[in-house]
């Protein structure tokens, strides 16, 4: 949304008390903006502190819902919910490194605790929904890492390899990766193609990332 010069001037001429009332009224309707301002203006913690807290939360929550595994559908819902918390962290802190590292951690923890559940549980239809969602997440993680300064890559290398080996140990998920064009060697060998966004776009355009096609 753009604002006219006249509107901006009129707002700047409002009394300070009136501005404060309007600001607080708007902040009540925008949770992310209010949390971002609170973080930027008064929080004693750094982005790294917030990221470390989020890492602990991811590990604890994945273990919690994995210990109480019920179905592939519920697992998918739990992953989406926790992914939403990561997204909120990124919007509040503008943590671009954490956007990649936390989502990578989420995928690793999910497969570490649930590979057996994914392999042995659920119908083909139930797995296809989860499998497509997981593969799409891996694609997006690779895109996020590729966007970062290459000096950061060394910090992801071992974790990408771990994730690749976890996928390799899951025949169901490995088959899904092959079907969608996701080369696990990109993870295991630490060799993300520069045109990874194009690979992702192609997979989506061809319907490979739609559960209805499996």
Q: Which residue from 94, 96, 180, 172 is spatially nearest to 137, judged by alpha carbons?
A: 180
Would you state the pLDDT for residue 164?
A: 98
Would you state the pLDDT for residue 212?
A: 86
The mean pLDDT value for 126-140 works out to 96
Count of helix runs (H) and strand runs (E) in the chain: 11, 0
More confident: 7 or 163: 163
Please state, in angstroms and rounded to a whole number, the distance separating the CA atoms of residues 170 and 142: 20
Number of C-beta neighbours around residue 19 at 10 A:
13
Q: Is the pTM of this model over 0.95?
A: no
The DSSP call for residue 42 is T
Distances (CA, A) of 5 to 11, 18, 52: 10, 20, 42
pLDDT beyond 90 at 99: yes
E strands within the chain? none
Token duo for residue 162: 């771990």
pLDDT beyond 80 at 1: no
Q: Which residue from 169, 91, 175, 104 is spatially nearest to 142, judged by alpha carbons?
A: 104
Longest CA span, the chain: 66
Q: Which residue from 59, 50, 112 is spatially nearest to 82, judged by alpha carbons?
A: 59
Tens of pLDDT, residues 171-182? 999 999 999 999
Tell me phi and psi for residue 83, to 5 degrees: -60, -35
pLDDT band at 23 (very low <50, low <70, confident <90, very high): confident
Tens of pLDDT, residues 39-86? 999 999 999 999 999 999 999 999 999 999 999 999 999 999 999 999
The mean pLDDT value for 202-214 works out to 91
Would you state the pLDDT for residue 5?
A: 87
Would you state the pLDDT for residue 71?
A: 96
């Amino acid at each position: 949304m753009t604002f006219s010069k006249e509107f901006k001037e009129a707002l700047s001429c409002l009394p300070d008390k009136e501005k404060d009332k309007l600001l607080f009224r708007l902040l009540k309707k925008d949770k992310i903006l209010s949390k971002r301002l609170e973080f930027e203006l008064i929080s004693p913690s750094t982005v790294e502190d917030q990221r470390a807290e989020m890492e602990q939360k991811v590990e604890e929550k994945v273990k919690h819902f994995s210990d109480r595994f019920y179905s592939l559908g519920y697992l998918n819902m739990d992953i989406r919910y926790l992914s939403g918390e990561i997204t909120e962290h990124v919007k509040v802190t503008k943590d671009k490194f954490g956007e990649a590292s936390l989502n990578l951690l989420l995928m690793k923890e999910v497969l570490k605790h649930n590979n057996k559940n994914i392999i042995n549980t659920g119908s083909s239809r139930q797995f296809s929904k989860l499998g497509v969602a997981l593969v799409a997440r891996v694609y997006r993680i690779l895109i996020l890492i590729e966007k970062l300064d290459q000096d950061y890559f060394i910090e992801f290398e071992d974790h990408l390899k771990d994730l690749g080996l976890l996928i390799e140990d899951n025949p169901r998920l490995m088959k899904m990766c092959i079907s969608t064009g996701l080369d696990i060697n990109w993870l295991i060998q630490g060799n993300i193609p520069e045109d990874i966004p194009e690979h992702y776009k192609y997979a989506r355009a061809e319907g490979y990332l739609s559960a209805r096609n499996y």
